Amino acid sequence: MSSFLPFSTGTRLPPCQIVIFGATGDLTARKLIPAVVDNARLQAFPMPVQVIGVARTAQDTETFRNQLQAWLNPEQRAVWAEFAPNIHYFSIGSGTPQDYADLKQELEDLAGPAAPECGRLFYLALAPALFAPTVEKLAAHSMLVDDQLRVDAWRRVVIEKPFGTDLGTAQWLNLTLRKYLREDQIYRIDHYLGKETVQNLLSFRFQNAIFEPLWNRQHIESVEISVCETLGMESGRAGYYDTSGALRDMVANHMLQLLCLTAMEAPGSLDADSVRGEKFKVLSALESFRDSQDVWDNVVRGQYVSTPNLKGYSEEQGVPPRSQTETYVAIRARIHNWRWNGVPFFLRTGKRLNRRFSEIVVHFRVPPVDLFSGPLAADVCRLRPNSLTLKIQPQEGMQLSFLVKQPGAKPIMRQATLGFDYKDLFAGDTTPAYQRLLLDATMGQATLFIRGDEAEAAWRFCDSVRAGWQDPEAPPPFTYPAGSDGPLQAADLFRGCEGTWSAGHE
């Protein structure tokens, strides 16, 4: 038996237990435990915290603690001896009713005298098929019941991604969760929302008055959102990836969240329902593709093939031969509302590309009259002179491009930029996404988590893409050489607009 040990965590609120299901897995070791230790180290938790790792593996707490240590950085290791006694392990065995009854008792025992007021965050770092059954078992033992009118003894559940695999499965999962939990107890995670630059999109747009008047169809020609990776299949991931593909792995969550934050109206406040309500309106206005032809005209899917130095997708370990799974997708999306009607949103994501970067580029319209036109100016003026790039990774920052005249008698225009990098202005690294999100979940702040209706609306759009791909007449994925910038056909999506895909930044 053990109660909450003194540690440099806050004591302003009643204590909380973070119960991680999937405690022996990759996510727990690489992200969750380091995030908890960093929050404790920085005294970010406003309450004393215990962590209880749960998995089927039979092992004791000491072994669990020793395994976790290997994943910590030197700063985290420096406080480990002090924090480790707050970490415990419970083997759930085969998950029988008795196992869950024992878990409930164990949590009460570990909380000790604080048990009646102790909040509990159940973090499901489990395979998606286990989300619903685990919630059902917790509910069967009255472990999810909380009192809305009390600030303590709360119960919340964090659900990892992917949240379903299509609209039907997401609806079913929402229905199942809502049998046992109120919406405000459900925290659907998309770790992109925990990234500093992604949150800064909101402050950039709504705390600065200079861009908002331009942020609409009158002044913006197109918006480009890219999440490009150089990695192919990480070991052991092909099994999951081949059933998912780039559309479901990246577009249904991260990329549509970026689109929402770029396109949404100003919320009334930063509370969870205001922000998520505005995001939901964008997703509701995002046009699903009408039919197969609409998909083939506006979506390019691709798969990387081998080069002398790099394997193709189909040669990667664990990928079924002749797999048609897309490792690249580019979409010309439409938002049917007053602000954005007629402005294409170009989304692109892929694996084994030549550069790793994530960014949003807002392309402004060309000036109505080109006073400097002439043979030498034309090449530059024909391109969009003004764009705003919001850099998400690897560097975080912003860049505004504009034209200046080269000194001399000839009207030669050159592209110039005004730039800002977070690392130059703010010393130290930005807070890792899981650190921020875990803290928010313990504090009951759901703004950076996805609401059930958002998840369903995102799948509705992605399902319309997949319907076009499943048509027997659909062309197979285009191919692109591993290490290139994707299928050439993706450039065709820019028809009617100036320029093509951004080359990105390092």
Ligand X SMILES: NC(=O)c1ccc[n+]([C@@H]2O[C@H](COP(=O)([O-])OP(=O)(O)OC[C@H]3O[C@@H](n4cnc5c(N)ncnc54)[C@H](OP(=O)(O)O)[C@@H]3O)[C@@H](O)[C@H]2O)c1
Residue with smaller CB distance to ligand X, 237 or 365: 237
Residue with smaller CB distance to ligand X, 129 or 369: 129
Contact status: 165 vs ligand X (CB under 6 A): no
Residue with smaller CB distance to ligand X, 21 or 357: 21
Residue with smaller CB distance to ligand X, 126 or 201: 126
Residue with smaller CB distance to ligand X, 240 or 494: 240
Contact status: 125 vs ligand X (CB under 6 A): yes
Residue choice 37, 51, 55, 138 for contact with ligand X (CB under 6 A): 55
CA distance 474 to 295: 9
Task: Please give the C-alpha separations between residue 395 and each of 347, 359, 506, in angstroms, as whole numbers.
Answer: 20, 10, 7
Contact status: 57 vs ligand X (CB under 6 A): yes
First to last CA, the chain: 51
Element (H, E) at 259: helix 256-263
Please report how close the Cβ of residue 57 comes to ligand X at its closest, in angstroms: 3
Q: Are 462 and 246 in contact (CB under 8 A)?
A: no
Three-state SS at 377: helix
Nearest to 192 by CA among 466, 432, 421: 432
Please report how close the Cβ of residue 368 comes to ligand X at its closest, in angstroms: 46
Q: What's the half-sphere exposure (Cβ side, CA atoms, 13 Å) at 139? A: 16
- Count of positions on this chain that bind ligand X (CB under 6 A): 20
Residue choice 104, 161, 217, 365 for contact with ligand X (CB under 6 A): 161
Query: Is residue 115 packed enough to be buried (19+ CB in 10 Å), middle (13-18) or exposed (0-12)?
Result: middle
Contact status: 238 vs ligand X (CB under 6 A): no
- Active-site pick, 88, 191, 219, 254: 254
Contact status: 433 vs ligand X (CB under 6 A): no
Contact status: 182 vs ligand X (CB under 6 A): no
Please report how close the Cβ of residue 286 comes to ligand X at its closest, in angstroms: 24
Q: Are 219 and 283 in contact (CB under 8 A)?
A: no
Contact status: 212 vs ligand X (CB under 6 A): no
Cα 391 to chain centroid distance, Å, stands at: 15
For 223, residues 6+ apart whose C-beta sits below 8 A from its C-beta are 259, 262, 263, 343, 344, 345, 346, 360, 361, 362, 363
For 456, residues 6+ apart whose C-beta sits below 8 A from its C-beta are 167, 170, 171, 174
Query: Is position 254 annotated as part of the catalytic site?
Result: yes
- Interface region with ligand X, contact rule CB under 6 A, candidates 18-26, 318-326, 341-349, 455-463: 18-26
Structure token pair of residue 406: 């080269």
Contact status: 440 vs ligand X (CB under 6 A): no
- Interface region with ligand X, contact rule CB under 6 A, candidates 24-32, 98-106, 363-371, 408-416: 24-32
Contact status: 25 vs ligand X (CB under 6 A): yes
Contact status: 179 vs ligand X (CB under 6 A): no
Contact status: 160 vs ligand X (CB under 6 A): yes
Contact status: 100 vs ligand X (CB under 6 A): no
At residue 461, what are phi and psi to the nearest 5 degrees? -65, -50
Residue choice 14, 22, 194, 452 for contact with ligand X (CB under 6 A): 22
Residue with smaller CB distance to ligand X, 176 or 284: 176
For 217, residues 6+ apart whose C-beta sits below 8 A from its C-beta are 339, 340, 341, 342, 343
- Interface region with ligand X, contact rule CB under 6 A, candidates 1-9, 48-56, 292-300, 482-490: 48-56
At residue 168, what are phi and psi to the nearest 5 degrees? -60, -45
Residue choice 5, 78, 127, 266 for contact with ligand X (CB under 6 A): 127
Residue with smaller CB distance to ligand X, 103 or 490: 103
Contact status: 432 vs ligand X (CB under 6 A): no
- Binders in 345-374 for ligand X, by CB under 6 A: none
Nearest to 23 by CA among 94, 124, 121, 93: 124
Residue choice 26, 109, 421, 424 for contact with ligand X (CB under 6 A): 26
Contact status: 186 vs ligand X (CB under 6 A): no
For 290, residues 6+ apart whose C-beta sits below 8 A from its C-beta are none
Contact status: 16 vs ligand X (CB under 6 A): no
Residue choice 7, 21, 289, 501 for contact with ligand X (CB under 6 A): 21
Full 3-state SS string of 15-38: CEEEEEECCCCHHHHHHHHHHHHH
Residue with smaller CB distance to ligand X, 55 or 330: 55
For 201, residues 6+ apart whose C-beta sits below 8 A from its C-beta are 258, 261, 262, 360, 390
Tell me 247's DSSP state. I
Residue with smaller CB distance to ligand X, 129 or 149: 129
- Interface region with ligand X, contact rule CB under 6 A, candidates 16-24, 61-69, 219-227, 399-407: 16-24
Residue with smaller CB distance to ligand X, 377 or 455: 455
CA distance 157 to 177: 10
CA distance 86 to 51: 6
Please report how close the Cβ of residue 35 comes to ligand X at its closest, in angstroms: 12
Q: Are 151 and 47 in contact (CB under 8 A)?
A: no
Write the binding mask 130 to 159 for ligand X: x where contact by CB under 6 A, - elsewhere.
x-----------------------------
* Active site residues per annotation: 254
| Contact positions vs ligand X (CB under 6 A) | 21-27, 54-57, 92, 95, 125-128, 130, 160-161
